Amino acid sequence: WVPLSLALGAIGNVASIAGRSDAGGAFFLRLGKTLAEQGVVLGLVAGVGGFLVPRLLGRTTLPSLGGPAAGVAGAAPRALRALVPSRAAIHGAAALLFVASFPLEAAGAVRVAYASRAAAVGAVFALEARFHRPGPLSGPHGPLLLASLWMIVAGLAGVALWPAHRVAMLHVAMIGGISVMIFTVGTVVVTSHTTPTTREDRPAHLFPALAAGMGVALVGRLAAEASADAFFPVLGVAAAAWVFDA
């Protein structure tokens, strides 16, 4: 996923250049913009987040890429387990669906594009983090990380359901999902290196504060969408909450 993300960024730059040439057009401009804004970021989140978040959640089972997907195989009847695809096959199919969603969006098929993107990212999170299954979470950061996975998928799916509110739904994914994930992981890393080594002694109050700040930022950004007369003041409150958390 990481090499794919970097490749999508490079392709996006080329598409943006082509869109500004005499032979280019609006399709390449839209393609380049979405690849640069979402292809790189969401691909890195699927790759790095799909590897790191399960470990921070305490869900660290890591079968080989060539073996069957453990969560799927375990739920399948014994006679059907041989038909369960490998983790590599699931990742490959998700990556193809993810890549295909960008030209679809550039061509105007917004609903199909975001449904495909949500399905691809959701498949990685389900396979690696099993975010769709209830279970114990590791530490006070666990609920925030789990919520961030859901918010990313929900935001992308929200665009598919309500394309007229694309910007608002993308902020659900970017603020409620990616920002929460980044800040939570960063807080875990910093506190693990600067506080006592036992997990119980680490400052757990930071995570509720982080959740509150991100909640204000997300709600404020969504409220700004519906507050034409007070757009910039409300947006300023949302931005201040985001910066405070950062």
Whole-number pLDDT of residue 191? 78
Whole-number pLDDT of residue 64? 47
Residue 36 reports pLDDT greater than 60: yes
User: What's the pLDDT band for 206 if we cut at 50, 70, 90?
Assistant: confident
User: Over the range 169-193, which residues count as b (16 or more CB within 10 Å of their CB) and which as e?
Assistant: bbbbbbbbbbbbbebbbebbeebee
Helix spans in the chain (H): 2-19, 26-34, 40-44, 50-57, 70-75, 87-106, 110-128, 142-161, 166-171, 180-194, 206-225, 231-245
User: What's the pLDDT band for 73 if we cut at 50, 70, 90?
Assistant: very low
CB 192 within 8 A of CB 202: yes
Whole-number pLDDT of residue 186? 83
Taking the C-alpha atoms of residue 72 and residue 128, their distance in angstroms, rounded to an integer, is 11
**What is the mean predicted confidence (pLDDT) over 4-14?**
93
